[in-house]
Structure 1
Amino acid sequence: MNSRSKIAALAAGTAMIAMQTAPAVAEGTSAGTTITNTATVDYRVGGVDQTEIVASDSFDVDRKVNFVIARVSDPTTTVVPGQTNAVIAFDITNLSNATIDLGLVVNQSGSDDFDADNVAIYLDDGNGTFDGTETAITFLDEIPEDQTVRVLVVANIALTHTNGEVASLVLSGTAGEGGAAGSQGAVITSTAGANTAGVETVLADGAGADDGTNDGVFGAGGSYTVSAATLDVTKTSRVISDPVNNTANPKAIPGATIEYCVTVGNAAGSATATNVTITDPLPGDLTFDAVFGIRINGTSDGSGNCNADGVTGGSFSAGSVTATLDDIPGNDERTVYFRATIN
């Protein structure tokens, strides 16, 4: 016989039980909420209504601590050598049923290509980009239940890094006690032993990028991937003509015309090189051929000589040839060629 049947039998009449419970919120009932459950028994004896009997039970909801950190948008942040303030954005959501603090730290991988420089964490000011107005932080203060906060990991990339290199990192959070605005709360630990009448703590976080389950720690990974131009430059010369042999097997004798060819190539898979400028001072033993001029943005024949497909461009001033080339995508090249006479 169940308890309801027992009450009815003891009362020697009919019985009705009514129960009330507190409503739940999105991440569960808030920690510390007192839930009271009341049973009311109405009955009759000899057809006469008797005084109802009431029994109640109360308990406090324990604290469930859980949060997640998620990399925003792209799986990696593309950077160029020498870039400053490169950003990886993360969203941090408090899934606990209580307000908590979160200590934050960035751990860089020891098995990638390089470490980013001057890494810092900033609280996003609402526009989703780093513009220098954000506040640098080491912890998130008083995060309410169900709230999501965006933070920005900001770093510099040294000029020495090459195309395709990757710097991997993990933004890791550790749950701390809330309740003291303006200061970082102590690390939250799980309550050991059997359940008691007080408010106890259960760590309910999942496994992050470099942590386990139910440890009050969660991390999410991000990375910087270098997109760089991989340029190489070659310079060759050939004798076009001389005053004795003309163009038939000419030699580099005084009065001979020399053609210089400068080829700039960009390796396959590399980022496009822009604003490529070549400066080439002419030795004093040569006289620039102003009639021929300077030809740019041509191609080479594969053996170091320039094909005759360049267009007029560049300038000669103060004894130097200067030429700015068109953008050079990966797996492409541009040339500059000009002529001079041996004095």
Structure 2
Amino acid sequence: MKNSTRLLATAGLCALGAGLGSGSAQAAGTLAGQTITNTVTVNFQVGGVTQTAQTGTNAVTVDRRVVLTITGAPATTTSAPGQIDAVTAFQVTNSSNDTLDMQLAAVNQAGGTTVHGATDVIDVANFAYFLDSNSNGVYDAGVDAQITYLDEIAPDTTRTVFVHGDLPANATNTQASGIVLTARASAAGTAGTQGALLTATTTANTAGVDTVFGDAAGATDAASDGAFSARGSYTVAAAVLSVNKYATIISDPINGTTNPKAIPGAVLEYCLAVANGTGAATATGLTLSDPLPSTVTYNSAFGIFVNATVTGTTCSGGTAGGTFAATPTPTVSGTLTNLAAGTSSALRFRVTIN
């Protein structure tokens, strides 16, 4: 801060008037680098004769006060196991009285409880950052630009930053990952080039623009460190599938349909049952494939039924569909409709024991 004064020509007189000029005032305050000019005018007489007024001027250069904050998404980001570029959003605000660049760095939380109340048990990988270029609050692939830092953020400005991460393929339903995003204040001034990290001025006031850190403590950083951190989280929503293959003896060559036995010539009905656990994510694209052993022969007259109803260890109904391939290995296959949590479906077909 520069402070200069012109002394009055006549000593012992009191200041009688003042004028103040300053730059624009915002919520962040008067902008850093602006000059506050204050001029005092003294009118006086000597022996009843009016004398030339005397003035004194003071010029103060406004210093930089750094205040930045981050707010994480209000809810966890639901992601699938192995999902690439899962997105969670943060609001980064520059409440400083100067334009800033902001260095961005995301890290995995080291265990404990996530900001949304789950237990942190998995880590995400390959963090990347994207700016909400069209300011609609939603990540738009191909529109929102990938960044490594926030560039030239004016005072009283908030930007949405989307943090991308890759979920582990072996993650299971309801597992959670906590992350921490930290923004650090850097000098602005050249668009497209990240400025140097700012440091607080710890010496006596200087003639230039000094820097004062006024930020509060964040999730993992201390107060007055020129940075701010906030937490976000990802929660895995996975299908919890169980698959069972049941066999029902329909008939045999000796007993017919009365208490039939699994003897050569007997007809078996296979039920390929798939169930999705309670609270799981909907399973989609369900494709079943069942290679047949050489001890049975596919019953083409009966066919294949998909989306059958499962009752205990048997299934019934369904819609004709699926396919049978005789070579290279006799195989029955078919597709089931989407399977919501707590529901089941099946594919059924028949074979004859050789």
Q: TM-score, length-normalised on structure 2?
A: 0.82
Residue identity matched to 2:130: Y
Which stretch of structure 1 is more off in the superposition, 122-131 or 76-85?
122-131
User: What secondary structure is seen at the aligned counterpart in 1 of 2:311?
Assistant: coil
Q: TM-score, length-normalised on structure 1?
A: 0.85
Q: Which position in structure 1 is the counterpart of 2:241?
A: 231
Which stretch of structure 1 is more off in the superposition, 233-242 or 80-89?
80-89
**Quick one: distance in 2 between partners of 1:186 and 1:195?**
21
Instruction: State how 1:24-35 maps to structure 2 within 5 Å.
Output: 24-26=24-26, 27-35=28-36
- Offset of 1:107 from its aligned partner? 1.1
Are residues 1:333 and 2:344 paired? yes
Residue identity matched to 2:321: G
**Quick one: distance in 1 between partners of 2:192 and 2:283?**
48
Q: Which position in structure 2 is the counterpart of 1:65?
A: 66
Q: Which position in structure 1 is the counterpart of 2:40?
A: 39
Q: Which position in structure 1 is the counterpart of 2:164?
A: 154
**Quick one: distance in 2 between partners of 1:283 and 1:54?**
107
Q: Which position in structure 1 is the counterpart of 2:332?
A: 321
Residue identity matched to 1:99: T
**Quick one: distance in 2 between partners of 1:124 and 1:258?**
59
Residues 78 and 234, structure 2, Cα contact 8 Å, conserved in 1: yes
Instruction: State how 1:144-293 maps to structure 2 within 5 Å.
Output: 144-192=154-202, 194-195=204-205, 197-293=207-303
Q: Which position in structure 2 is the counterpart of 1:305?
A: 314
Aligned length, in residue pairs: 329
Deviations, residues 238-289 of structure 1 (Å, cap 9, x unaligned): 2121121122221111111111111100001111111211111222322222
Residue identity matched to 1:61: V
Residues 23 and 35, structure 2, Cα contact 8 Å, conserved in 1: no
Q: Which position in structure 2 is the counterpart of 1:5?
A: none
User: What secondary structure is seen at the aligned counterpart in 2 of 1:20?
Assistant: strand
Which stretch of structure 1 is more off in the superposition, 138-147 or 257-266?
138-147
Deviations, residues 179-236 of structure 1 (Å, cap 9, x unaligned): 4555443332222255455432210112222112111111122222211111110012
Residue identity matched to 1:113: V
Structure 1 vs Structure 2 CA RMSD: 2.7
**Quick one: distance in 2 between partners of 1:38 and 1:214?**
34
Q: Which position in structure 1 is the counterpart of 2:91?
A: 91
**Quick one: distance in 1 between partners of 2:128 and 2:306?**
44
- Offset of 1:331 from its aligned partner? 0.6
**Quick one: distance in 1 between partners of 2:300 and 2:189?**
79
Residues 323 and 336, structure 1, Cα contact 8 Å, conserved in 2: yes
**Quick one: distance in 1 between partners of 2:208 and 2:85?**
47
- Offset of 1:322 from its aligned partner? 1.5
Deviations, residues 44-69 of structure 1 (Å, cap 9, x unaligned): 78987554343333222121011122
- Offset of 1:329 from its aligned partner? 0.2
Structure 2 residues not aligned, in runs of 5+: 1-11, 112-119
In the alignment, which of 128, 144, 158 is matched to residue 120 of structure 1? 128
User: What secondary structure is seen at the aligned counterpart in 1 of 2:185?
Assistant: strand
- Offset of 1:156 from its aligned partner? 2.0
Residue identity matched to 1:84: I
**Quick one: distance in 1 between partners of 2:246 and 2:43?**
107
**Quick one: distance in 1 between partners of 2:175 and 2:83?**
14
Which stretch of structure 1 is more off in the superposition, 16-25 or 228-237?
16-25
Residues 85 and 130, structure 1, Cα contact 8 Å, conserved in 2: no
Residues 121 and 137, structure 1, Cα contact 8 Å, conserved in 2: yes
User: What secondary structure is seen at the aligned counterpart in 2 of 1:161?
Assistant: coil
**Quick one: distance in 2 between partners of 1:125 and 1:331?**
40
Residue identity matched to 1:230: V
**Quick one: distance in 1 between partners of 2:142 and 2:265?**
61
**Quick one: distance in 2 between partners of 1:182 and 1:291?**
71
Deviations, residues 296-321 of structure 1 (Å, cap 9, x unaligned): 2233223x222x33333323232322
Q: Which position in structure 2 is the counterpart of 1:76?
A: 76
